A and B are shown apart, each in its own frame.
Chain A
Amino acid sequence: MEEKNISSRRLSVPFRRVLWSLMLFIGCLQVMPAMAQTKTVEGTVKDEKGIGLNGITVSIKGGTGGTSTNANGAFKIMVPGPNSVLVFTSVGFTTKEITVGSQTELSVVLTAGNASMDEVVVVGYGTQRKKDVTGAISSVSAKQIEERQAIDVLDAMQGQAPGLQIAQESGRPGAGNSVRIRGIGTLQGGADPLYIVDGAQGVNIDGINPNDIESIEILKDAASAAIYGSRSANGVVIITTKKGREGKPTLDVRYLTSLSKLSHKIPQSNAELRRLLEYKRNGNTGGGFNTDSLNPSFNADNDYQDMLTRTANRQQVDVSLGGASRNLNYYGSLGYLKDEGIIINSWAKIMRGRFNIDYKATDKLTYGNRIQFSYQTENRINDGNTLNQAIQRPPNFRVYLPDGTLAGQIGGRRNPVAEALLRKNEYQIMDGNFYNYVSYQFLPELKLTVDANVKAKYTHHLTFAPRLLSSSNDNDGSDENDLNTYWMTQAYLNYNKTLGGGHTLTGLFGVSADRNFNRGAEISGTNYVTEEVTTLNSPQVYGVPNSREERYTSVSAFGRLGYSYKGKYLFNSNFRADASSKFGKQNRWGYFPSASVGWRFSEEPFMRWAYDYLSEGKIRASYGVTGNDRIGEYDAIRIYSFGESDDNDNGNWYNGVSGVAPAATFGNPALSWEETKQTNIGLDLTFLKGRVTFTADYYNKITDKLLYQAPLPYESGFNEVNVNIGSIQNKGFEFVINSYPVRNKDFSWNLIYNMSFNNATIKSLYGGIPITSTNWITQEGQRLGNFYGWQALGVYQYDESNAYTDNWEQLTPVFVSGTFTGYTLDGKAYNGTVNKLKTAGNVLKGGDMIWLNNNKDSVIDDADRIPLGNAQPKWIAGLSNQFSYKNFSLSFSVYVSWGGLLYDRGRQQLNQNTISNVTPDPEYIRDAWAQPGDVTKWPTPKNNGMGNGRELSSLYLEDASFIRLRNVRLTYNLAKNIANKMKLKGATVYLYGNNLLTYTNYFWYDPEIAFNNALEMGQDSGRYPRKREFGAGVNLNF
């Protein structure tokens, strides 16, 4: 009860604040002069050759409305008065501003080129002209997103900007993504960037329809990101959604449908190979062979990958409506996406809606909102129970009973088809976000904005596994509810003034506060009354129900100062102070300053001569401090816990009493922010009037005071402690080239290439103690993502091959007509002592793996583990092309990730022989050692306790490099005159393909892997594979 009281009281604070400000403004309004007269202006926009330009944006400077030109370049717009300034913008053309004055007809000529520099980019709490930007910011436009047929925001950004690495966790519909900007600079502090949607934090980006996005800005360096202080160390992604355009309302209807398939199958053993395996394991006489040819259980020969996958269909419909008048600008959309997965019975359906309004109540007062909601349902297939089981299960096991119904488990192996069809793992996610702002322009140069954002997200998760799937003939299920609420309120002043003599001054000052709250509850049960009913009134035996709550709060103050002289010498500085309830009382406040400078040397008189070639040139340099606050709510507090919690599934119950015990993680009251200091040096060049642009950045990002859970000696009674010690360095270089190799009236070719290099290294750790997890070692002075395990050197040919000198050099056994006679070393007979290697207490024999004996003792054990290579790619690159010919355009993009190792754990699990019914891959079964003398890299195909399948073996570290043709799209724009006849403003039809070709040497499904955990990079445990998709769609504009 108390919770509710607290929340309502807290919630009222920002509302009260907004209300106060509102009243204030209304008070001021009464003295405002009456509205100015309006008038209509018409005109045409043409290029230098006199050809009418289509789609040029015409907007009123400082206003909300706008329109765009028609196919002939004509436009019509209402302006407030003679002092209005019209702004004409379009990609590929120089922006032009014209003061209306007394004119009612305008003829505007736009010159091509130099375009990108006049574009406006969104920075924190405001916008900047691209040419004034001094930080490292990449932008993705609505046009680029459209080319992709993106499913969600992250899909839209992938491969579009240098320094940005996005990988989907798996090919499952609705799967999450990992987004890394300039590598990973944290161990456990959370590595995802901060998302800002239309100025608000905490918005669920999965609820955004990519078609509603106007632009995405990626703030990469500290100087750009530091305005968001303690949440900005992983970079900031700013998403701006669409607004209405002035003129008649536009109604857009978009529809697309596609078919997808498994992009390739991996080799899998058939029944014959399974028999070969039994023969190699047990010989002719041993068990394992099925001798009953009539037994329906063991006489199949299944192709499980065919049985488990399908051609999946995706359908997407979007409707959007937008428009603007002089005072009101509105945009609304509704979209529905139905996405089937390529594994049978996997699907996701999502409905997304948006409503944006900006209302200019007076010349000075603007009110607006951004309302977003989404509803998603999903059946999430468990990769482990379906795909992995399908690959491992003996191919001769039954899937169906003779009567055609699904079979259950057999020989300890799940039936993957039954798992996919019968196991329920359903999610229902409802999400709503309500953002409001009021801004007031006190003076032409001073504006106050007060906003409040409220979010609520509800997740419902229902699982059920029927009796058929269980090994113990029990059904079981669970029902989980999670509620997340978040509010944030901000108030800030923007100042923008051009002084005499070419001095321009910009300023920003603001404060904000936010609060986040989570509540989760779960019940579970078994022995359902009936399998027809899977809600939680059905179980006859219940697990312990549980619910938990967490809350954090933070407050901030921030400011920015910018100065530019004649647009040539640029300076920007940000400052932010943040306090968060997550941190220890002594270290509650963090301060995040940054500064950046830029020099547009192309504006200097001495560069005039080069203007024909180099139209724009800028050097940027920045330095700043950013922070990371993404840790648990109560990590700074030592807690006693009870009941079920994240790190303690069963609580501390004993004999009916719920025991209370300290949490295994020791709370550290001195816990503080993770601090990232980043230096960035960048260069922007524009050649040949915008035909070629080039941007390059070098950065050095050092994260200090690393937040992580350092191991404590168990003898203390604790497992770990949250500390602020240690440091990671990310150094890198990235560039992007955007060019138009051909551009004329009918044909243009746009080529964009981006490339990034990043390397993350550990500088220091708590007490210098390396962090070892099962397959990785993280130690000072080494790269992040080093694999740690045993180096495989082959397989002992004979029992006698396990023979070494005192120096542990391997001897070669000599056989004369099959009889062992002695050893040679380097071709010479050897008569010294012969040492044999042991492992797990036993002597290694023919058919066992030869491991590198690193510490040169007589035992192969964990002390022989060495770093085996690194998971980080050397570089990643994206190449996109767009060809336009008259009404046709063809685009394609290629993505490359080069270097780095990937642990093929799916294959390792297949080939370790610890479970007799797991069937290794065909190559393994054919080539595995079977008799003395066999030369092979695959050990004897049975488990003899000698650790031949041990984790981590270098045998399963594979090159993760790949080149992928990510998407191709062919578009036809219906000619204007035909469209008009059909009462349409425009129409577009297109065909596209995603994930069409991949070049890689990787064995398993897909080398593209998400980098979720800095300590455990690059492991593929057999994920839901990515699909190959072909689709077609149509866009209609009314």
Chain B
Amino acid sequence: MKKLIYYTLALGLFANAGCKKFLDQQPISDLAPESFWKTADDAKTGVAAIYDGIQKTLNGNYTDWGDARSDNFTYGGTGENQINVTLNGLNSLTGAANWNNLYYTIGRANLAIKHIPEIPSSATYTEAIRNNYLAQAYGIRAYMYFYAIRLWGAVPVRLEPYEDLNEDPLAPRNSADSILNNVILPDLAKAYTLVTKTNTNVWEMTPAAILALQTDVYMWKKDYAKALQSSQDLINLSYKYDVSANNFTDFKKIFLDPAGTKEAIWSMHWDYTRDGGNGISKIGSGGNTSQYYIDSSVFLRFESNKNDIRRWATYDTTVPLTTTPRIIQIGKFYPVNSSNKPVPPANAQNDAKLTLYRMADILLLRAEALNKTSANKAPVFTIVNRIRTLRGATPLVATDYPTDSDVEKAVLDERQLELFAEGRRWFDLVRTDRVIEVMDPMVRYRQKLLNISQTGFDDPRKILWPISRQALTRNTLLRQNEPYSE
């Protein structure tokens, strides 16, 4: 009996000693925070996660945010969401109103900005390499905030990672102007200082991508001189980005093989086996239906010039219009078969490489800036006509465009055809204050087709997106954009 007690006690002691260790279980298939941001590889994989954040943010929203509300597209099929987006019926439950992925991306960039400098440098992980990683993080953070202010106006700002629960996670909205001046532009300046100047990798934030984004930001800010400066810096880079595609194959290259052309500045990499299906299938998929169809007004503009290579690069022109009254598939991002017909992939196997910035975009922004800053319209038409000639369209005649506004419209029209479905048109309309002018008749027409009251694009405050209900509930400091319901 006594023996037993001793044995039990000994056993108990033995068990107790092992107990603490026994209970300390670390994740097996994940990393604890203290094991990350230690090596050069961690910087690489940490930055890859930020890019992955862009993929998640723009997957589908590329179209919803940049194109679907504009005159490029109208609703396809009978889905409720498409109708709401194209008829200015957004509300706080509309899926694309949720900014969660955008802020996750910012969160990942914040982590990188804080922790990458802590990683000790070595022979293979030099200061230059480290700075280039930091440049990616700053550049992408600016890019995400730029999307946010264009969509919602004032938004909360967080520049430090959230790493402690005791810290208050709530932040109020900051005005769009202050974010533009105090976050986006300084981040871009920092990114440009840090970036490796020889980097021309089209899938990354290169010097060219930073300057392109900077041009876009200054245009939004209506600071045309600075926009001209930034775009000039881009043109002056030693790696000569320029427009050049004057045939179908070269033009398709911008989308199918952006690394192989100097027209592309920054494209989003996509591999369906790693990233899943690409949301661009909303406008063209292997299925027999799309969420958005090309709007007839822009379709007729494409059809008016059958020689324009951008027409047959955008959709399948062999579809006989007599039996299929509408084009429902946009093939711009997809490979073509032997007869140059785009082949939309299955939704789950969509590999489209979406363009984020390309040279034609920047040159046309430059034309827009030149129109704003000078009475001499010749340089504007030089740019526009150079692109038109390359793409197989007849040059414009300056005298047909007597006023500044006419010239601006000519540039915008060119942008619409050149950058169709590349997430540009809606922001073009907002930037040039043309939303009501363009969209009011468009919405009225769509309402008429659906046999509902024709109220048009009734409230200019609705140019901003509503804040999603989810975001409002989570952050009690947020107030909804008027006139959407609180």
Contact = CB atoms under 8 A, between A and B. Distances in A.
Interface of A: 3, 10, 13, 17, 20, 24, 27-28, 412, 442, 470-474, 511, 513, 515, 526, 541-544, 547-555, 579-581, 588, 633-634, 637-643, 645, 649-664, 666, 668, 670, 711-719, 721, 769-770, 772, 838-843, 845, 855, 857, 859, 861-863, 913-916, 942-947, 949-950
B275 interface: yes
Nearest to A767: B476
Contacts of B110: 717
Contacts of B236: none
Given A840-B91, A914-B80, A654 B15 contact: no
B158 A715 contact: yes
Given A24-B4, A662-B111, A861-B485, A945 B25 contact: no
B288 A652 contact: no
Contacts of A654: 48-49, 51-52, 55, 203, 269, 275
B158 A861 contact: no
Contacts, number: 293
A663 to B, nearest CB: 7
Interface in B329-385: 345-349
B25 A581 contact: yes
A840 B84 contact: yes
24 contacts: A27-B3, A549-B29, A553-B23, A639-B27, A642-B45, A653-B274, A655-B269, A660-B36, A661-B108, A662-B111, A713-B475, A714-B103, A714-B104, A716-B162, A717-B106, A717-B108, A717-B162, A769-B473, A841-B84, A842-B452, A843-B455, A863-B485, A863-B486, A914-B80
B275 A653 contact: yes
A643 B27 CA distance: 14
A559 B276 CA distance: 53
B397 interface: no
A561 B118 CA distance: 57
A29 to B, nearest CB: 13
A910 B203 CA distance: 44
Interface string B419-461: 0000000000000000000000000000100111101001000
B170 interface: yes
Contacts of B271: 653, 655-656
B18 interface: yes
A287 B78 CA distance: 14
Interface in B74-100: 75, 77-80, 83-84, 87-93, 98-100
Contacts of B90: 841
Interface in B33-72: 33, 35-36, 42, 44-53, 55
Contact of B48 (A634, A658, A670): A658
B274 A945 contact: no
B32 interface: yes
A471 B286 contact: yes
A634 B27 contact: yes
Contact of A943 (B78, B348, B470): B78
A638 B286 CA distance: 40
Contacts of A642: 30-31, 45, 49
B9 interface: no
Contacts of A843: 452-453, 455
B27 A660 contact: no
B78 A20 contact: no
Contact of B83 (A442, A474, A543, A945): A945
B289 interface: yes
Nearest to B446: A945
Contacts of B475: 713-715
A467 to B, nearest CB: 11
Contacts of B52: 651-654, 659, 661
Nearest to A947: B80
Contacts of A839: 89
Contact of B44 (A471, A634, A657): A657
Given A651-B274, A712-B169, A845 B453 contact: yes
B87 A842 contact: yes
For the complex of A and B, 4 pairs with smallest distance between CB atoms: A717-B107, A472-B346, A659-B49, A945-B83
A913 B33 contact: no
A663 B89 contact: no
Given A20-B7, A639-B32, A945-B452, 17 more contacts: A471-B287, A515-B22, A526-B349, A639-B30, A642-B31, A650-B276, A661-B46, A664-B104, A666-B162, A711-B474, A715-B169, A716-B169, A839-B89, A842-B455, A843-B452, A861-B91, A947-B80
B276 A718 contact: no
Contact of A640 (B36, B93, B471): B36
B236 to A, nearest CB: 28
B11 interface: yes
Nearest to B169: A716
A862 B36 contact: no
A655 B450 contact: no
B288 A412 contact: yes
A978 to B, nearest CB: 57
Contact of A551 (B28, B170, B171): B28
B321 interface: no
Contacts of A949: 80
B32 A638 contact: yes
B23 A555 contact: yes
A914 B26 CA distance: 48
Nearest to B449: A944
A1033 B228 CA distance: 89
Contacts of A944: 83, 450-452
Interface of B: 1, 3-4, 7, 11-12, 15, 18-19, 22-33, 35-36, 42, 44-53, 55, 75, 77-80, 83-84, 87-93, 98-100, 103-104, 106-108, 110-111, 156, 158, 161-163, 165, 169-171, 203, 269, 271, 273-276, 286-289, 345-349, 447, 450-453, 455, 458, 462, 469-471, 473-476, 484-486
A395 B311 CA distance: 41
Contacts of B486: 863
Of A470, A633, A662, A950, which is in contact with the most chain B CB atoms at under 10 Å from its CB?
A662
Given A474-B349, A659-B51, A660-B46, A650 B275 contact: yes
Contacts of B24: 581
A842 B286 CA distance: 33
A714 B79 CA distance: 28
Nearest to A855: B485
B269 A717 contact: no
A862 B347 contact: no
Contacts of B4: 24, 28
A513 B87 contact: no
Contact of B286 (A472, A541, A770, A861): A472
B45 A660 contact: yes
Given A649-B276, A659-B49, A945-B87, A713 B28 contact: no
Contact of B49 (A511, A661, A772): A661
B89 A862 contact: no
B485 A640 contact: no
B25 A551 contact: yes
B51 A655 contact: yes
A536 to B, nearest CB: 15
A547 B30 CA distance: 11
A662 B469 CA distance: 24
Nearest to B105: A717
B25 A913 contact: no
Nearest to A715: B156
Nearest to B8: A491
Contacts of B78: 913-916, 942-943
Contacts of A513: 15, 22
Nearest to A918: B78
A914 B79 contact: yes
A550 B28 CA distance: 6
Contacts of B103: 714-717
A464 B47 CA distance: 36
Contacts of B162: 666, 716-718
B473 A637 contact: no
Contacts of B80: 914, 943, 945, 947, 949-950
